[in-house]
Structure 1
Amino acid sequence: MKSKFFNIFSRYPIYFIVGGFVTLVTIVLRDFIGRFLYGSAWEYVMSIAIVYVVGTILSYFLQSRFTFKDNKKKTRSFKYKFSYYTVVQLLGMGVTIVFSLLIRYLLFPITILAQFRDTIAFIIASLIASIVTYGISKVYIFKEISSKK
């Protein structure tokens, strides 16, 4: 059981690095968009949704190339993988929004950090979502399929 867990998460460090790059892009983009939106909870959620669209597309291509080495093994079709990857990223967005709001409003009412609380909450929530989305992607979307004879 232990070795199966470690086998599943063996490429998580690469996923984390690639995802970290994508997350950095989305954090900068969310912060940029956030400067045009004026801080209500709805506008905050909208900024996360916008960057998730950009992040999902960038993430799919980078993760499939570097983490899951999609070009080296026989996997499902692009349509299948991209569709399900998008669904998993939407799940990740939901996890990010829920945890982001919880951290922003419940765990981060400190006024000294109020200027940075949106960004900090988004970073922490994104880390939680990355663990969830990696596991699902590795086990269900990018798993190698056997050739049909």
Structure 2
Amino acid sequence: MENVAFIEMVFENCESIVIPINRVKRMEFGTLTPFEHYPYKGLSAFRSEYGLLDLIYQNESELHYNDSDYEEFLEPFIGNKLSNHVEERPNILGRILNYNDIVMIQFLDQNQQHIKNIYVPWHEDDREENRYMLKEANNGILNIEIRVR
């Protein structure tokens, strides 16, 4: 997709991680169905049948994230002094391994303005954990798969 400079992984609790596109080795989605009445004007949003992502990490330390080590969440709210950008805090990639709660992937341009939002499948029986999400880290690749099984 042209003009995409970052993707933003958005989690169930509104935390997010901003990842530069050069760290995305593979990104694949199923059929995209547009939201007919998306509440945020000017943004395009879609539901996807599935989402597959392979993210590149440089070394194992980038996967060691403990949220209790920090006073603030990974939220881009005003006044939060902690960055949610992988470029500035590589270890926050580990947040993906700690929880199964990715809700949406946002596509951002160079100015971090939203281009498109893609919502991945979510198992409705659990409000905090996405039972459809699997992830694995091996040999510098963090593989994320979210699909109905």
TM range (shorter): under 0.3
* Larger-Rg structure: 1
TM-score, length basis structure 1: 0.24
Of Structure 1 and Structure 2, the greater strand share is in: 2
